[in-house]
């Protein structure tokens, strides 16, 4: 996913010398081609995320199109004031790219986990939030972000991300995607955890449960229509967040449902519940240890459906 973003950024910079790559002393090796071919469009501000955002905001005010890049947790927490005041309050045309969505930096612990970032970014006026689920979507989302006038947050996973979409897939800001059809219940997720939700949907299908799966690559603006349609047609919604349940995709869905109370639905949010991610280890282990593996999603679905399913092995 990271490499797909860098490929898109490189192509944008080749076409337009106003496009800038600004980093906080990370990604040095992966930016080698960019620095070599676009040396005047690359800026390394050092390990100073607050300055990273303020520099980008100032350059945007001068007509440049800066793409800032650093670890998502640092971008959204350490530089929170600058994101709010220099970028959003001024509505500057800055693209904020956070690497390491959720607990992708699994073995570095909660200091490097981005599990509150969506809550913060969703609250900021004028912020567009994109959470790609695979490299192709990240590539398309980068071009889409460049054409938006105003702040954009792109929440990226790591470098080894499996494919989810085919090459005919069309990314559209504010539009959700139905990955699996089904009328028994609906799973809803965004970003990298959509892969785990897809595995859960397939496991449910094997046990005779027709699970619909909705992937929301854009968290803001939010596709309310696809959620309300699923609520009416399936009557059961389960959201899966690689994030705190507070402020994440589950909260966004809950807000839509609450504002349309005439739509009767059984609903549950799965994610981190008033806690930081537990333990250390490989990414797959972190999902398992924090209740976000496919088998956990299947268990929650069974509880919502009030039915017994075979244990997932």
Report pLDDT digits (tens) over 50-80. Answer: 999 999 999 999 999 999 999 999 999 999 9
CB atoms within 10 A of CB 166: 7
Confidence of residue 86 (pLDDT cuts 50, 70, 90): very high
Report the chain's terminal Cα–Cα distance, integer Å. Answer: 29
Beta bridge partner(s), residue 68 = 22, 96
Distance CA 217, CA 18 (A): 27
Q: How much is the pLDDT for 312?
A: 59
pLDDT tens digits, residue range 96-138?
Answer: 999 999 999 998 999 999 999 999 999 999 999 999 999 999 9
CATH number of 2-156: 3.40.50.970
Same fold, 2-156 and 177-305: yes
Distance CA 80, CA 122 (A): 13
Look-up of token digits 């809950």: 254
Q: Reply yes or no on whether the pLDDT at 289 is more than 90.
A: yes
Q: How much is the pLDDT for 4?
A: 95
- Which residues in 220-234 are b (16+ Cβ under 10 Å) and which e? bebbbebbbbbbeeb
Q: How much is the pLDDT for 7?
A: 95
Give the whole-number percent of the chain exceeding pLDDT 90: 88
Give Cβ neighbours of residue 156 (< 8 Å, ≥ 6 apart): 1, 2, 5, 72, 97, 98, 99, 100, 101, 132, 138
Q: Reply yes or no on whether the pLDDT at 266 is more than 90.
A: yes
Q: How much is the pLDDT for 26?
A: 80
Classify 7 as helix, strand or coil. helix
Q: How much is the pLDDT for 310?
A: 67
Give mean pLDDT, residues 147-159: 93
Confidence of residue 29 (pLDDT cuts 50, 70, 90): confident
Beta bridge partner(s), residue 24 = none
CB-CB contact of 60 with 95 (8 Å): no
Give Cβ neighbours of residue 38 (< 8 Å, ≥ 6 apart): 10, 13, 14, 17, 21
Distance CA 62, CA 9 (A): 20
CA dihedral 214, 241, 136, 198 (to 10 degrees): -50
**How are beta strands 65-71 and 42-44 bridged, if at all?**
unpaired
Give the whole-number percent of the chain exceeding pLDDT 70: 97
Q: How much is the pLDDT for 307?
A: 78
Q: How much is the pLDDT for 176?
A: 98
Write down the domain spans for the chain.
2-156, 177-305
Beta bridge partner(s), residue 269 = 239
pLDDT tens digits, residue range 201-256?
Answer: 999 999 999 999 999 999 999 999 999 999 999 999 999 999 999 999 999 999 99
Q: At what angle do helices 249-259 and 224-234 cross, to 10 degrees?
A: 70
Higher pLDDT, 262 or 180: 180
DSSP 278: P
If you average pLDDT over every residue of the chain, what do you get? Answer: 94
Q: At what angle do helices 135-146 and 2-15 cross, to 10 degrees?
A: 30
Give mean pLDDT, residues 164-189: 95
CB atoms within 10 A of CB 264: 9
CATH class held by domain 177-305: alpha beta
Distance CA 138, CA 34 (A): 18
Classify 256 as helix, strand or coil. helix
Q: Reply yes or no on whether the pLDDT at 49 is more than 80.
A: yes
Confidence of residue 158 (pLDDT cuts 50, 70, 90): confident
CA dist 79 to 163, 238, 244, Å? 31, 32, 20
Q: How much is the pLDDT for 308?
A: 67
């Amino acid at each position: 996913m990271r490499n797909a973003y860098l490929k898109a950024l490189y192509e944008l910079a080749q076409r337009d010398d106003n496009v800038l790559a600004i980093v906080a002393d990370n990604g040095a090796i992966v930016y080698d081609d960019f620095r070599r071919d676009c040396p005047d469009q690359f800026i390394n501000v050092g390990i100073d995320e607050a300055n990273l955002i303020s520099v980008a905001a100032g350059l945007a005010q001068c007509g440049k199109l800066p793409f800032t890049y650093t670890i998502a947790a640092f971008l959204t927490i350490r530089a929170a004031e600058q994101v709010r005041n220099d970028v959003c309050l001024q509505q500057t045309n800055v693209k904020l790219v956070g690497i390491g969505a959720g607990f992708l930096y699994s073995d570095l612990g909660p200091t490097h986990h981005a599990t509150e970032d969506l809550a913060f970014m969703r609250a900021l006026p004028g912020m567009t939030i994109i959470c790609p689920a695979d490299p192709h979507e990240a590539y398309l989302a980068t071009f889409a972000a460049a054409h938006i006038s105003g702040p954009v947050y792109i929440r990226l996973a790591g470098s080894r991300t499996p494919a989810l979409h085919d090459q005919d897939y069309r990314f559209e800001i504010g539009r959700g995607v139905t990955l699996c059809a089904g009328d028994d219940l609906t799973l809803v997720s965004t970003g990298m955890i959509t892969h785990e939700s897809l595995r859960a949907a397939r496991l449910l299908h094997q046990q005779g449960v027709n699970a619909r799966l909705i992937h929301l690559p854009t968290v803001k603006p939010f596709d309310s229509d696809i959620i309300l349609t699923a609520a009416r047609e399936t009557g059961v919604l389960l959201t899966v967040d690689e994030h705190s349940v507070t402020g994440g995709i589950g909260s966004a869905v809950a807000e839509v449902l609450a504002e349309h109370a005439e739509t009767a639905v059984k609903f549950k949010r799965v994610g981190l519940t008033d806690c930081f991610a537990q333990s250390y280890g490989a990414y797959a282990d972190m999902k398992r240890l924090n209740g976000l593996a496919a088998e956990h999603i299947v268990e929650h679905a069974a509880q919502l459906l009030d039915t017994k399913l075979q244990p997932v092995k």
